[in-house]
A and B are shown apart, each in its own frame.
Chain A
Amino acid sequence: MVEKVISMKRTILTVDDSATVRQMVAYALKSAGYDVVEAKNGEDALGRLPSPLSLVITDLNMPVMNGIGLIKALRAHPDARYVPIVVLTTESEAAKKQEARAAGATAWIVKPFRPEQLTAVVQKVLG
């Protein structure tokens, strides 16, 4: 008999140097029933990868390790290779988008986002 029940909640890692943005991402995702882990920048994120990890939402411009660096690191990490990565940024320049895409990002959202927009993207990506 299968007795132990493991939490069905999915964990999402949000990476942003702005505490306000992290707070708003957490707000939107927690309201939608996800668990959220916050990190201040790419390096911080790599140091606290939750397991299992369902999705990463990351900013691009961050000190220490920026978003592109983080995407590349995640893509090289066996546990995170296929974790979808959503870029959440103020940037909208085509070149930056291309860079993130090539590094292995899954989707791109320009700030400011509305909570329902973010959760719609997350749901679509997680299937």
Chain B
Amino acid sequence: MTARRESVIEPGQTDLSPQAFERLAQYITKELGIKMPEGKLPMVQSRLLRRVRELGLPSLDHYAAYFFDSPNQDEREHFINSVTTNKTDFFREPEHFAFLCGTVLPEFSAGRAAGRRFQVWSAGCSSGEEPYTLAMVLAEYAAGDAAFDFAILATDVSTRVLKVAHEGVYDQAKVLPAPLELRRKYLLRGRGENESLVRVSPRLRAKVSFHSLNFMADSFGIRDAFDAVFFRNVMIYFERSTQEQVINRMAKHMAPGAYLFVGHAESLAGLDIPFRPVRTSVYRKAGGV
């Protein structure tokens, strides 16, 4: 038998055994609600490989063993950070922002109780592009309506993306989908070696508060009643039954008549939830109006 070289992953060792994958997949589904059919094996493999190298483990199967044997929860965070899909963009699915500013906000302004702030929740905010887009749109609206004020809660389960979001620093190329005018107003350009970077202005950053939150938790620990929730491109990874549970839990934190925005590839049809469709991928909670 040849001696195994430590922390070098041999070609054959990059494969997870079906048993190890099964175990990790079950864990992901249970902890995050994300479904993990066999087809996701290559994805899980490639995403975990980096972590395996960091830890100097000889193979992915060793990692699985290490993960389940770890006495503390440290590895859990790394694991969650590795397996979540965080693709996002500024002004992604722009129809929603048009609808927000053309319909939802004027409606809110017209019917608002004095002094009430417009509260939005970016649920599954990833690296912050969505809540900052919301912040720009709402700040723009506020500029035309002195009585209007807003607050944004942004949550995600991945601490890695939350950190990026909190920093609010992005590549120039990343912010191109935002209208030029808004970029000029709300983004600061990097200098010197940061020339290719931009940072969200402090004023805007102050409008967004970031928190870690897992949709699978029994209670979200939220006291506010939101007027709009952006829950986009998250539940696409969930089982139907999980979607229903999460949305029902979410509904408890929404004001009557509040709007729920979901991704364009997502549909709530067939779910037993207190919402009715308003237009493509926009729903409204029962009550209120």
Binding site for B on A (CB under 8 A): 1-10, 51-55, 75, 77-84, 101-102, 104, 106, 125-127
Q: Which residues of B contact A (CB under 8 A)?
A: 89, 91-95, 97-99, 101-103, 106, 137, 140, 177, 179-181, 264-265, 267-273, 275-277, 279-281, 283
SS of A interface (majority): loop
Contact A84 B91 (CB under 8 A): yes
In angstroms, Cα B97 to Cα A3, docked, is 25
A8-B264 in contact (CB<8A): yes
Contacts of B101 in A (CB 8 A): 78, 81-82
Interface contact B102-A2, CB-CB below 8 Å: no
Q: Is the CB of A2 within 8 A of B269?
A: yes
A101 CA to B180 CA, complexed, in Å: 7
A8 to B83, alpha carbons, bound, how many Å? 29
Known: A10-B264, A52-B99. A83 touches B94 (CB 8 A): yes
Contacts of B269 in A (CB 8 A): 2-5
A82 CA / B280 CA spacing, docked (Å): 16
Assuming A2-B275, A7-B280, A82-B137, is B102 touching A126 (CB within 8 A)?
no
Report chain A residues within 8 Å CB of B277.
2, 4-6
In the bound complex, do residue A79 and residue B102 qualify as a contact, i.e. CB atoms below 8 Å apart? yes
Do A125 and B177 form a contact, CB below 8 Å, given A8-B267, A10-B264, A80-B102? yes
